[in-house]
């Protein structure tokens, strides 16, 4: 039973466990189109979550009290969401291990690159089992770390029981049973972003490719700017029209304080976003996606270091979704609702974003705060490697709008979990020498090398376990005890790796160079062993 799947592992007949959005990303990964790495939590995981602690029974009992006129649907929705927030997530360690792997560059083989694994920003997207333009399901942006990741997952699960979702599902004789798939995808800290269409939605010309582009994150396209527009001949890929919009600002991700900020562009806003070569490349990618999807489509893309990434695609049914142009120049489809984007923390939300009404924003932020309260009250009993003070509430900061000069670049430094590390007497963090900041990153990264090796060893243990026993979700240390007669030669080494990993995750104690060398050497030998040798 597949619970967590990489995009590349999804096959055509598995749409019913991952959803259409995830299926589209899977197809992209097999087209030699760059996609941001990620994985999917399948409906099998959702069903296991619902069956645990009788969560499903509790929800069905509450739904039984729903009035036929839906007069109490808001109360029903609130009660069900509370049940979900208070229920233990399943397979937490496997989910977090998969998340950590998104910070590892598997394309680089040199030893130094092994020290670059880190917790990264991800987008957590709902991937429902049914498609409709009548209700929206959330995408949570700028999610980083275990606490925020698990909160975002609960948010996606609970979205199936929003008041509007409940009414839609019941009115259309659908079932809550298929559940919800969830996409967890590494965010691209884009320099440029946009949307492309495999046809011209302004003129319904199917021989043209239509492209909108802006500087910074793609959030800008939905926030009142006037993007660039490019028209390309679909057959020859010749550019037939370039319209440069006056882009007053861009949105950027400030990695120092982990906030999304609005950057006033001034003169740069009058520049063309994509050069001719880049326009042709986006058109080529869009044409390729259109050919694969066997129908008209749109694609959301982002560019970083002159490399394009396709974030998601959507088929467009001509005749049902008639395109039109908004007054600010943005292209949307009638009857197609914009995917609800939610920032995990209030301080992550730029001041000017106007994707939805203030009431909806306040409602979403309150729900996120409620989830964190439940996380504090409800410790997960099955957690294998819990992080100390994992559910501690963070201090809220005021949203800050900054104007960044075009010459000044944001320093791309990740906060370290060793931010309290300081062997100097300097009180102000900003005055800490650069050498100490580098040392912090080395400590953090060396620990993540151990975590990745622990993941690899655990996967090998799972394979051995499935060969000898029925499948179960025993924690690592109990699993090796159970399997001791088959892994006796490696038992003490496995215990040692688990202890080193626990100290890093629970006590923020980085491994020594000797420990890193030991873990890497053992992992390589253990993972390469033939299963028949156990």
Tell me: pLDDT of 374 over 60: no
Q: Which position has the higher pLDDT, 516 or 274?
A: 274
Q: Please give the Cα distance from 99 to 92 (Å, whole number).
A: 11
Q: What number is the average pLDDT over the span 18-31?
A: 85
Q: Please give the Cα distance from 440 to 421 (Å, whole number).
A: 7
- Write down the residue that tokens 């560019």 correspond to: 303
Distances (CA, A) of 533 to 11, 92, 192, 438, 492: 32, 30, 51, 42, 18
Q: Own/partner pairs for 229-237, CB < 8 Å, 24+ apart?
A: 229/329, 230/274, 230/279, 230/283, 231/200, 232/208, 232/279, 232/280, 232/283, 233/207, 233/208, 233/209, 234/198, 234/206, 234/207, 234/208, 234/209, 234/283, 234/287, 235/207, 237/280, 237/283, 237/284, 237/287
For the stretch 132-157, pLDDT in tens is 777 888 888 889 999 999 999 999 99
CB 100 within 8 A of CB 455: yes
Q: Please give the Cα distance from 67 to 123 (Å, whole number).
A: 36
Q: Please give the Cα distance from 85 to 368 (Å, whole number).
A: 10
Query: What pLDDT was estimated at residue 435?
Result: 53
Do the domains 192-338 and 4-187+352-377 match in fold? no
| Average pLDDT in the chain | 76
DSSP string, 184-211: EEEPP--SEEEEEESSBTTTTBTTEEEE
Dihedral of CA 178/184/188/189: which sign? positive
Secondary structure of 431-457 in the HEC alphabet? HCCHHHHHHHHHHHHHHHHHHHHHHHH
Q: Please give the Cα distance from 46 to 3 (Å, whole number).
A: 9
Q: Please give the Cα distance from 394 to 53 (Å, whole number).
A: 29
Q: 342 - beta bridge partners? A: 140
Element (H, E) at 108: none
Query: What pLDDT was estimated at residue 353?
Result: 33
Query: What pLDDT was estimated at residue 317?
Result: 72
Q: How confident is the model at residue 27 (pLDDT cuts 50, 70, 90)?
A: confident
Q: Please give the Cα distance from 327 to 472 (Å, whole number).
A: 56
Q: Which tokens go with 358?
A: 């203030």
Domain 4-187+352-377 sits in which CATH superfamily? ATP-grasp fold, A domain (3.30.1490.20)
Query: What pLDDT was estimated at residue 158?
Result: 93
Q: Please give the Cα distance from 146 to 214 (Å, whole number).
A: 31
Q: How confident is the model at residue 397 (pLDDT cuts 50, 70, 90)?
A: very low
Domain 192-338 sits in which CATH superfamily? ATP-grasp fold, B domain (3.30.470.20)
Element (H, E) at 214: strand 208-215
The DSSP code for 335 is: T
Query: What pLDDT was estimated at residue 489?
Result: 76
Tell me: pLDDT of 396 over 70: no
Q: How confident is the model at residue 428 (pLDDT cuts 50, 70, 90)?
A: very low
Query: What pLDDT was estimated at residue 439?
Result: 58
CB 373 within 8 A of CB 151: no
* Domain chopping of the chain, boundaries: 4-187+352-377, 192-338, 430-533
For the stretch 231-266, pLDDT in tens is 999 999 999 999 999 899 998 887 777 778 888 998
Query: What pLDDT was estimated at residue 129?
Result: 87
Q: Please give the Cα distance from 380 to 386 (Å, whole number).
A: 9
Q: Please give the Cα distance from 253 to 210 (Å, whole number).
A: 27
- Half-sphere CA count of 485, side-chain side, radius 13 A: 3
Q: What number is the average pLDDT over the span 257-276?
A: 88
pTM exceeds 0.75, yes or no: no
């Amino acid at each position: 039973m597949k619970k967590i799947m990489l995009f590349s592992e999804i096959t055509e007949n598995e749409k019913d466990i991952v959803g259409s959005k995830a299926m589209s990303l899977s197809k992209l990964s097999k087209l030699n189109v760059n996609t941001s790495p990620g994985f999917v939590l399948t409906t099998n995981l959702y069903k296991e979550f619902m069956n645990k602690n009788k969560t499903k029974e509790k929800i069905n009992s509450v739904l039984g009290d729903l009035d036929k006129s839906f007069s109490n649907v808001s109360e029903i929705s609130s009660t069900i969401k509370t049940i979900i927030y208070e229920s233990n997530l399943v397979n937490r360690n496997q989910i977090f291990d998969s998340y950590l792997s998104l910070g590892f560059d598997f394309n680089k083989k040199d030893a130094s690159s092994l020290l670059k694994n880190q917790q990264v920003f991800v987008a957590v997207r709902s991937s429902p089992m049914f498609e409709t333009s009548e209700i929206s399901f959330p995408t949570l942006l700028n999610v980083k770390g275990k606490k925020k990741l698990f909160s975002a997952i609960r948010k996606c699960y609970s979205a199936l029981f929003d008041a509007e979702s409940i009414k839609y599902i019941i009115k259309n004789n659908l079932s809550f049973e298929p559940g919800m798939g969830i996409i967890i995808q590494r965010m691209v800290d884009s320099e440029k972003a946009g949307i492309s269409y495999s046809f011209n939605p302004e003129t319904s010309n199917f021989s043209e490719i239509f492209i909108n582009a802006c500087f910074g994150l793609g959030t800008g396209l939905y926030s009142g700017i006037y993007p660039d527009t490019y028209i390309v001949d679909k057959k020859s890929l010749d550019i037939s029209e370039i319209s440069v919009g006056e882009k007053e600002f861009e949105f950027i991700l400030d990695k120092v304080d982990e906030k999304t900020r609005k950057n006033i562009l001034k003169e740069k806003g009058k520049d063309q976003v994509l050069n001719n070569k880049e326009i042709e490349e986006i058109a080529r990618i869009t044409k390729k996606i259109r050919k694969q999807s066997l129908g008209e489509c749109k694609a959301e893309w982002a560019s970083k270091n002159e490399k394009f990434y396709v974030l998601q695609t959507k088929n467009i049914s001509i005749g049902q979704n008639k395109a039109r142009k908004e007054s600010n120049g943005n292209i949307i489809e009638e009857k197609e609702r914009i995917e609800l984007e939610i920032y995990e923390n209030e301080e992550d939300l730029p001041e000017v974003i106007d994707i939805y009404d203030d009431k909806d924003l306040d409602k979403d932020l309150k729900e996120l705060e409620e989830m964190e309260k439940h996380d504090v009250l409800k410790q997960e009993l099955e957690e294998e490697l819990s992080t100390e003070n994992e559910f501690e509430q963070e201090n809220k900061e005021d949203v800050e709008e900054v104007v960044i000069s075009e010459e000044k670049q944001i320093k791309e430094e990740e906060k370290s979990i060793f931010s309290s590390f300081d062997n100097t007497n300097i009180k102000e963090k900003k005055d800490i020498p650069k050498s100490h900041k580098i040392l912090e990153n080395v400590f953090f990264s060396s620990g993540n090398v151990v975590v990745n090796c622990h993941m690899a060893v655990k996967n090998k243990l799972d394979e051995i376990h499935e060969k000898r026993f029925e499948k179960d979700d025993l924690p690592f240390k109990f699993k090796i005890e159970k399997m001791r007669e088959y892994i006796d030669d490696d038992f003490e080494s496995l215990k040692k790796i688990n202890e080193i990993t626990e100290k890093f995750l629970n006590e923020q104690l980085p491994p020594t160079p000797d420990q890193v060398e030991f873990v890497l050497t053992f992992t390589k030998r253990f993972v390469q062993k033939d299963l028949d040798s156990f």
